[in-house]
Amino acid sequence: GVTRAATQFHELCVGSVDGMFTDAKALLRGGLELVVSAWKDAASDWNWTGMDRYITHQVSSVHTNAIVKAARLDRAKVPTTFPEYGNVGPASIPITLDQEKRNLSRGDRVLLMGVGSGLNTAMMELAW
């Protein structure tokens, strides 16, 4: 797998007892830059273009489609659960895996892709 951080974006999503402030557009732009950078860095060591499934941290259709486009993923291999459950944060990865398990076969390659406020990203290959 691969992990990356871009801590210069740490003020894009801030919560306190007074409320929460999020610059959603800047968070999306910064997150995409970080994901693409990590994806390109991993390309020489990992062959992730031919995965059987890509399970992403799902915030919305805008965010999911932006990651699909930026990383040039096959949209048919990116199952979504946010239409049913909404933005459940990082829990979207295990929830989506649970929903998708009946469509996976032994030996399938699954890439887990997470992006978090702050910003950070992690990608990890899972052999089913």
3-state helix/strand/coil string of 84-121: HHCCCHHHHHHHHHHHHHHHCCCCCEEEEEEEECCCEE
What's the total number of domains in the chain? 1
* CATH assignment of the domain containing 90: 3.40.47.10
Residue-range definition of the domain harbouring residue 18: 2-127
- Residues of the chain with pLDDT > 70, as a percent, come to 100
Q: How confident is the model at residue 15 (pLDDT cuts 50, 70, 90)?
A: confident
Count Cβ atoms within 10 A of the Cβ of residue 123 and give its class: 0-12 exposed, 13-18 middle, 19 or more buried. buried
* DSSP code for 49: T
Both tokens of 101, joined, read 């398990």
The mean pLDDT value of the chain amounts to 92
Q: What is the pLDDT of residue 44?
A: 80
**Which residue, 59, 69, 10, is CA-closest to 35?**
69
pLDDT at 24 over 90: no
pLDDT at 28 over 90: no
Q: What is the pLDDT of residue 112?
A: 96
